[in-house]
Chains A and B, each alone.
Chain A
Amino acid sequence: MSNSNLTDADLAKLNDKDKAEIAQFLAHEQQRGRVQSQTHALTSLCWKKCIAPSAPHASSSSSSSTSSSTTSGIRGFFGGSRSTVSNDLDSTEKQCLANCVDRFMDANYATMQHLKTLQNQF
């Protein structure tokens, strides 16, 4: 990328209006990065809950019961390999992911609230 070798002399060419625009843009960009990072953490967490529960054959209450029941026979046949995994999310999985995000945020809030009461107690 030819743009990556900006010098101090280049930076000195910036006028105030462009400096302000850059500051605003970078703040936006930082926020976008934070949202993306949090999304990565949540996806990893919710994937384990909704798509691939850690115990492969354990029946999960919230994960897709339909897809796991149709593939369980094949899975058993191939000794636990998941060769028939669908590349699409079914509606149960989608709903589970959305619930997972919302309940995580609720739990986060509840934790903060409880922390406040604990702080008052001690």
Chain B
Amino acid sequence: MRQSERVAVFAVLAPQGLWSLAWSRLCRDTLGLIALGVVVMYLAVVLAAAAGWIAKDWSHEAGVNYAPPNGWIFSASPSEDRLPVARESIQVTPVAGVVDPLAPVIETLRESRLALAQEPQRLATLPLGADKWGRDVALKTLKGTQTSFIVGLLAAFLSVLLGSLLGAYAGYFGGIVDDVLNWIYSTFTAIPYLLLVLAIAAVLNQKGISTVILILGLTGWTGVFRLMRAEYMKHRNREYVLAAESIGASHARRMFYHILPNVSHVLLVQLSLNVVSFMKSEVILSFLGFGVGVDTVSWGSMLNEAQTELLLGKWWQLASATLAMALLVTAFSVFTDALRDALDPKLK
């Protein structure tokens, strides 16, 4: 109560800008702040993983195959399905005069096996268990978070850049420019989103993080375009824009120096909406094998492995990827709602 009074007093003393007002509104939204905290935490993990400080050796086979989680977060009884295989050794009696041509090869193989046995022992359990090859699921989840988050963020930036640029031109200039851009818009929206994504994936026919970012960014700009077009149509004849025109500001300067800051709150909300939806799309694409390559781990590729693992009763990779994704997406959605409420209190 007292804080809001203080805010009110400040508002009288010194006029506050949109952003500081929005920030003070956001600060009063506890749930939104918690969500922001979670998102920032994820961002820190992603930056650390991208810098190579954590989860660098995620592809190292640290545990035994399907090592169960050790009970810190999940617990599972160690699997008993690895039955010891009874080995029969065949006695070979050397025959005089016959030379085994493979003898030296077998000798080197034996030696390399001995050398292998001296490597550090693989762990029987890991914090979140291990996958088919014994790779640590915890590290895979961290690295997968990096992939999925970065894809979502960069694709969202690309789509917002494209959408706002086209939307600004359509809304500001109107006329034939608007007609042409609107035509492109209605063409893109007539094709269902995921079908378009799949069609582009089919023609590009190459995997990799940059391909996924490109696909999602090039298809996801339509929502931003529609909103930005409406905003620019609203703003282009406002007095401040006319004033800028009268002192000789060019079209580009009016569009991106004068109007853009006044509509950027719309962009911010759209950006975070797109991050969420692109992360979900990336997971689906990678799951289907049209997304990131096999040398990269993402939540989608983890889920793909988890599907067959589940039949063997190895549920920890599924649980880890699902939890990591659900937490981030929930936090991001809650934060987006809080952001929208903070930036546009009239909407509530």
A binds B: no
Residues of B within 8 A of A (CB): none
Residues of A within 8 A of B (CB): none
